[in-house]
Amino acid sequence: MELKLADYKSDLAPDWCPGCGDYGILSALQTALYKLGIEPSRAVLVSGIGCSAKTVHYAATYGIHTLHGRPLPVAQGVKLANPELTVVAMAGDGDGMGIGAGHFVGVGRRNPDLLYLIFNNEVYGMTKGQASPTLELGAQPKSLARPNLQSKVNPLMLAFASGFTFIARGYAYDVKNLARLMQQGIEHKGLAMIDILQPCPTYNNLHTREWFAPRVYDINAEGYDPRVPREMSDAERAERMARFTLKATEWGERIPTGVFWHADLPSFEERLGTFLPGYPKTAPSTRPPGGESERARALMRGHRVAK
Amino acid sequence: MNGMEPQVIDDFTWRVGGPQGGGIETAATLFAQVLARGGWWVGARREYHSNIMGRHSYLDVRAARRPTRAFFERVDLLAALDAETLARHLDEVKPGGVLVYDPDAARMPLSKLPMLDGAAYKRIAAALGGGDPVLERALERYRESDVRLVSLALEPLAREVGEAVGADAITAKKTLNTVAVAASLALLGYPLEFLDAALADQFAAKPKVAELNRKVAAEVYRRVEPLADVALEPIGSPGERIYINGSHASAMGKVAAGLGFMSYYPITPATDEPFYLEAHPESGVVVVQVEDELAAVNMAIGASMAGARAALTTSGPGFALMTEALGFAGLTETPLVVSLYQRGGPSTGLPTRTEQGDLRFALGAGHGDYPRAVLASASVEDAFADAALAMNLAARFQLPVVHLMDKYLASTTRVIEPFDTGTVVPDPGVVATDAKGVFPRFSLAAEGGVSPRIPVGTPGAGYWITSDEHDEIGHITEDPELRDAMMEKRAAKIEALRKWLGPEEMYRTHKPEAGTLVLGWGSTEGVTLEAMEGLDMGYVQVRFLLPFPDLEALLEGKRLVVLEYNQSGQFAHLLAQETGRKPDHLIVKYNGRPMTIEEVRAAFEAVLSGEAEAYTVLRAGV
């Protein structure tokens, strides 16, 4: 049966505020899955806590709405148990860059084959607009009692430092390009992260749709090549790292979007496969049942007093 | 061991002490293997500091003609590989026992022991008559308690013997542990061939090292005169027996029950389990070392949601970090097993010492009400069976199961009959076979609270999972009626689980007809049963702490004694809460050292003679 875009939409109506960037992200994700022809029942969306976390309920895939900060570990557990599934983890900026930041670094070091979306609106919307870790030092959106006393973290730079192999930025109101980025991120063999600029019409009166519109531009359309092959000279690598850093830290009159870094490293599943016989084919959720007793006996043989 | 005729030995304990990282564990394993090969039932326990190298560490290896599960305070032979061992174990060798020591060590003043901490220094100096005693005074003290002193410069002997069989000085020195074991066994008159075979096996991967050690062992046997009145002899064949500790048994039980996924963050004493599975890919388990315990627990939950049988190991501090996610597993009805290896708390506490201080924590961990099961293992055999049972309970009832272990079980290694892996059948739980379209994962048509389950990713179907309260397909709800229905559905699992288990799984008894009943849980069972031999007492091992077994009829009219490893009597409180019975006597220990047979025996005798207080603290141990 031919899949339709409508097959990726659940019966539940979103309860986000009118004008919220989350609508664009949901739509882009459904489009990306549809365009890739991924069966809805073979995709698992995993979110944390907050407005962004509700996204999973609006897609007709499997959806896991986890704890604050924990979508990445849950998503990795799903993926490593059943590597045949398409797994997309998502988190708000507080979720992903604050309470869950340790997992961001951890997952980067592993490079599992999954896509991670950061819904970046610089505020904690669900708890009425507190400063998130991506809010600039000194900024004071309308619900803050005083200007922000903490500097912001740059998700692109942190992803780079942590070893993510696909690093991109999208814009929630540019659904077409965002869907394209998501498609690329899902197709990438390894860990892909998209930092999504997502205006919060209710609590972030500084970085609004009107503020972003004239600033965002596509670096790939301007000729930026993100590809980083496995084999390259140190000089070439250094040049690409410098180029990445310049683009990833550009913020102001012009705000870059697109793919910044696209490297090629063995995924965590491949790394596991070099030690675990048959993995990923023998992954715990996909292998046929049976053999448990034999496996325990194999272990026990090593403990015999008289070999 | 006095008298000239060699005495028949039924039960013998060898203690080896030395600096951590110096290989005494290898020595103890070798000693244990040699005796096990001769048909002895061997148990070995390990005491160590939270330190990589240098701090005092020791192991007891007990060999008996019958299986044993506990240890004595006083040993038959103490092999002191350094001066600190000589100082720390005063009064811990039985009268007539043997001390093997290095004469150079005895010439050291106490203040020159580099790793001896201030509290121990003060205590030992006082015991030796004050001042800064030279350790000759320790030797006098041993002599006064009828300990026979055997002066053997083990390190020079290792060097000399090693070089005599053709090794260079550095390699020769590495044979010190073999020298210590060989010297001890030669003194006891145990046949060399068993040591020779054990060495060949221990160094099977390194034939040259094996050859050197075998030559060294033979040379030590030539030089060391056996004691005239002791003869430790082989008593049979080991047959199919295995030599295994609680950590490995627990890992094996999980594998037998279908374990597919384990994530972990390193913590003493819980990491041996995943570390062991990492080293054995034939287990088929995906093991992932992660960035913290939050990742560990949530990753295992994710794997379980996708259909893997998932488990974790941790100890108190790590479990504290996992509690939010434990509630997540409870609310989302996700099977999950946590083997909680208790160690001395609170906080970092005594990281390498034993305790049963996490009972109340395990029962109540997490916010809100959700069903869970809590069971405690008493032995290596239990560790295997309980780990498997925990996996099956988690799968069948779709809930978190806390499997309580402790440091004593983790690091006590015993010779036992092999596990009957055939008795473990992985329970698939209640699985929906014809799921199509939107699937009611949390269906309220649930017998015993258990809704039929399919893993996420099942083709052709779909549902949601949320950490919020939810409806039958997993969408968020705040509806008051649905909330009640869901809470009641989940809560129903506890009674269903109790019924499914039956009382025989929940507790076991030993001489329950006695007028005085000791109640214990976890690893106190071994020492209790041995300490009460011949006394008019019975014993109840409570295996399930949640749900709690129905004990009221059993305890009716009895004098009750509770024995446990924590200061406040956590189990005693639970017993009172569940049965209305407050124990007449509470015997506790919280210095981190295992209960000795002697001290538990003395405490029981005091109970029977009417001299015991309501609350007794056991304080033995180095």
Q: Same domain, yes or no, for B25 and B160? A: yes
Chain A: closest CA distance from residue B474 (Å)? 9
Chain A: closest CA distance from residue B306 (Å)? 5
A115-120/A86-92 β-pairing: parallel
Q: Over 70: is that where the pLDDT of B3 sits?
A: no
Average pLDDT over residues B555-575: 98
C-beta separation of B294 from A70 below 8 A: yes
Query: Which pLDDT score is estimated for B4?
Result: 59
C-beta separation of B403 from B235 below 8 A: no
Q: Inter-chain contact B295–A39, Cβ cutoff 8 Å?
A: no
Q: Please tell me the distance from the alpha carbon of residue A91 to that of residue B505, in angstroms, as a whole number.
A: 44
Pick from B201, B239, B308: CB nearest A285: B308
* Burial (CB count <10 Å: 0-12, 13-18, 19+), residue B315: buried
Residue A27, CA atoms < 13 Å, CB-side half-sphere = 12
B461-462/B437-438 β-pairing: parallel
Q: Same domain, yes or no, for B262 and B346? A: yes
Query: Which pLDDT score is estimated for B7?
Result: 82
In a domain, B6, yes or no: no
Task: Establish if B256 touches chain A: CB-CB under 8 angstroms.
Answer: yes
Q: Please tell me the distance from the alpha carbon of residue B302 to that of residue B306, in angstroms, as a whole number.
A: 6
Chain B: closest CA distance from residue A122 (Å)? 24
Query: Which pLDDT score is estimated for B171?
Result: 86
Q: Please tell me the distance from the alpha carbon of residue A3 to that of residue B202, in angstroms, as a whole number.
A: 61
In a domain, B118, yes or no: yes
Q: Please tell me the distance from the alpha carbon of residue B318 to that of residue B327, in angstroms, as a whole number.
A: 15
What's the token pair of residue B345?
Answer: 């708390």
Could you give the 3-state DSSP secondary structure of residue A207? coil
Pick from A62, A103, A292: CB nearest B462: A62
Which residues in A lie closer than 8 A to residue B366 (C-beta atoms)?
none
Q: Inter-chain contact A303–B243, Cβ cutoff 8 Å?
A: yes
> For B145-167, how does the pLDDT look when each residue is reduced to its tens digit (9 = 90+)?
999 999 998 888 888 888 888 88
Q: Same domain, yes or no, for B112 and B169? A: yes
C-beta separation of A270 from A79 below 8 A: no
Closest residue by Cα to residue B486 from B469, B468, B474 = B469
DSSP state of A97: I
User: Per-residue b/e over B589-613, b at no fewer than 16 CB within 10 Å?
Assistant: bbbbbbbbbebbbbbbeebbeeebe
Helical spans, DSSP H, in B438-596: 480-501, 503-506, 524-531, 552-555, 570-579
In a domain, B351, yes or no: yes
In a domain, B229, yes or no: no
Q: B547 preceded by cis ω (within 30°)?
A: yes
> For A116-136, how does the pLDDT look when each residue is reduced to its tens digit (9 = 90+)?
999 999 999 999 999 999 999
Q: Please tell me the distance from the alpha carbon of residue B508 to that of residue A55, in angstroms, as a whole number.
A: 50
Q: Inter-chain contact A76–B302, Cβ cutoff 8 Å?
A: yes
Closest residue by Cα to residue B594 from B407, B346, B361 = B407
Closest residue by Cα to residue A283 from B432, B426, B339, B288 = B288
Q: Inter-chain contact A77–B300, Cβ cutoff 8 Å?
A: yes
Q: Please tell me the distance from the alpha carbon of residue B236 to that of residue B194, in angstroms, as a whole number.
A: 12
DSSP state of A96: I
Query: Which pLDDT score is estimated for B49?
Result: 92
Q: Same domain, yes or no, for B484 and B384? A: no
What's the token pair of residue A191?
Answer: 């860990």
Query: Which pLDDT score is estimated for B22?
Result: 87
Chain A: closest CA distance from residue B427 (Å)? 11
Could you give the 3-state DSSP secondary structure of residue B261? strand
Q: Please tell me the distance from the alpha carbon of residue B120 to that of residue B142, in angstroms, as a whole number.
A: 18
Q: What are phi and psi of B465, to 5 degrees?
A: -130, 135
Which residues in B lie closer than 8 A to residue A284 (C-beta atoms)?
260-261, 284-286, 303, 307-309
Closest residue by Cα to residue B87 from B50, B142, B44 = B142
Q: pLDDT tier at A306 (50, 70, 90 boundaries)?
A: confident
Chain B: closest CA distance from residue A292 (Å)? 5
Q: Over 70: is that where the pLDDT of B190 sits?
A: yes
Q: Please tell me the distance from the alpha carbon of residue A59 to that of residue A28, in angstroms, as a whole number.
A: 11
Handedness of CA B497, B498, B504, B510 (dihedral sign): positive
In a domain, B237, yes or no: no
Pick from B260, B301, B418: CB nearest A300: B418
Task: Establish if B69 touches chain A: CB-CB under 8 angstroms.
Answer: no
Q: Which of B423, B457, B490 is the last residue of a domain?
A: B423
Q: Which residues pair with B438 in a beta bridge?
A: B462
> For B67-108, how does the pLDDT look when each residue is reduced to its tens digit (9 = 90+)?
999 999 999 999 999 999 999 999 999 999 999 999 999 999
Q: What is the average pLDDT value for chain A, to the nearest integer?
A: 97
- Residue A283: what residue type? A
C-beta separation of B92 from B73 below 8 A: yes
* Burial (CB count <10 Å: 0-12, 13-18, 19+), residue A143: middle
Query: Which pLDDT score is estimated for B2?
Result: 47
Average pLDDT over residues A68-73: 98
> For B389-399, how does the pLDDT look when each residue is reduced to its tens digit (9 = 90+)?
999 999 999 99
Which residues in B lie closer than 8 A to residue A108 (C-beta atoms)?
none
Q: Which of B193, B223, B253 is the last residue of a domain?
A: B223
In a domain, B238, yes or no: no
Chain B: closest CA distance from residue A124 (Å)? 18
Average pLDDT over residues A209-233: 96
Q: Please tell me the distance from the alpha carbon of residue B432 to that of residue B435, in angstroms, as a whole number.
A: 6
Superfamily of the domain at A5-301: Thiamin diphosphate (ThDP)-binding fold, Pyr/PP domains (3.40.50.970)
CATH number at B332 reads 3.40.50.970
Q: Over 80: is that where the pLDDT of B425 sits?
A: yes
Q: Inter-chain contact B424–A304, Cβ cutoff 8 Å?
A: no
Q: Over 50: is that where the pLDDT of B518 sits?
A: yes
Closest residue by Cα to residue A114 from A194, A27, A195 = A194
Q: Same domain, yes or no, for B103 and B201? A: yes
Q: Inter-chain contact B241–A305, Cβ cutoff 8 Å?
A: yes
Q: Same domain, yes or no, for B57 and B149? A: yes
Q: Concatenate the DSSP letters of all residues of B220-234 into one string.
A: HHHHSPPPTTB----
Q: How many helices (H) and strands (E) does chain B have?
A: 23, 24
In a domain, B190, yes or no: yes
Q: Over 60: is that where the pLDDT of B362 sits?
A: yes
Q: Same domain, yes or no, for B67 and B192? A: yes
Q: Same domain, yes or no, for B162 and B24? A: yes
CA B279 to chain centre: 20
Query: Which pLDDT score is estimated for B170?
Result: 87
Residue A176 CB partners (closer than 8 Å, separation 6+): none
Q: Which of B450, B476, B501 is the last residue of a domain?
A: B501
Query: Which pLDDT score is estimated for B547?
Result: 98
Q: Please tell me the distance from the alpha carbon of residue B446 to that of residue B235, in angstroms, as a whole number.
A: 57
Q: Inter-chain contact B466–A287, Cβ cutoff 8 Å?
A: no
In a domain, B381, yes or no: yes
End-to-end Cα separation, chain B, in angstroms: 25
Q: Over 90: is that where the pLDDT of B187 sits?
A: yes
Average pLDDT over residues B44-65: 95
Q: Same domain, yes or no, for B572 and B555? A: yes
Q: Same domain, yes or no, for B441 and B546? A: no
Could you give the 3-state DSSP secondary structure of residue B408? helix
Pick from A12, A49, A81: CB nearest B306: A81
* Burial (CB count <10 Å: 0-12, 13-18, 19+), residue B542: buried
Size of interface A-B (CB pairs under 8 A): 235
C-beta separation of B3 from B229 below 8 A: yes
Q: Please tell me the distance from the alpha carbon of residue A81 to that of residue B111, in angstroms, as a whole number.
A: 56
Count of positions (residues) in chain A: 307
Task: Establish if B292 touches chain A: CB-CB under 8 angstroms.
Answer: yes
C-beta separation of A133 from A96 below 8 A: no
Query: Which pLDDT score is estimated for B1?
Result: 45
Average pLDDT over residues B278-292: 97
Q: What is the average pLDDT value for chain B, to the nearest integer?
A: 96
> For B431-449, how does the pLDDT look when each residue is reduced to its tens digit (9 = 90+)?
999 999 999 999 999 999 9
Q: Same domain, yes or no, for B556 and B493? A: no
Q: Inter-chain contact A296–B252, Cβ cutoff 8 Å?
A: yes
CATH number at B611 reads 3.40.50.920
Q: Over 80: is that where the pLDDT of B226 sits?
A: yes
Q: Please tell me the distance from the alpha carbon of residue B352 to that of residue B327, in angstroms, as a whole number.
A: 28
How many other CB atoms are found less than 10 A from the CB of residue A146?
A: 7
Domain that holds residue B418: 243-423
Q: B269 preceded by cis ω (within 30°)?
A: yes
* Number of domain units in chain B: 4
Q: Which residues pair with B617 in a beta bridge?
A: B588
Please name the residue of chain A whose CA is at the shortest distance from the CA of residue B285. A284
C-beta separation of A89 from A106 below 8 A: no
Which residues in B lie closer than 8 A to residue A291 (C-beta atoms)?
284
Average pLDDT over residues B362-374: 97
Pick from A276, A300, A302: CB nearest B281: A276
Q: Inter-chain contact A296–B421, Cβ cutoff 8 Å?
A: yes
End-to-end Cα separation, chain A, in angstroms: 58
What is the Rg, in whole angstroms, of the alpha carbon atoms belonging to chain A? Answer: 21
Q: Same domain, yes or no, for B484 and B548? A: no
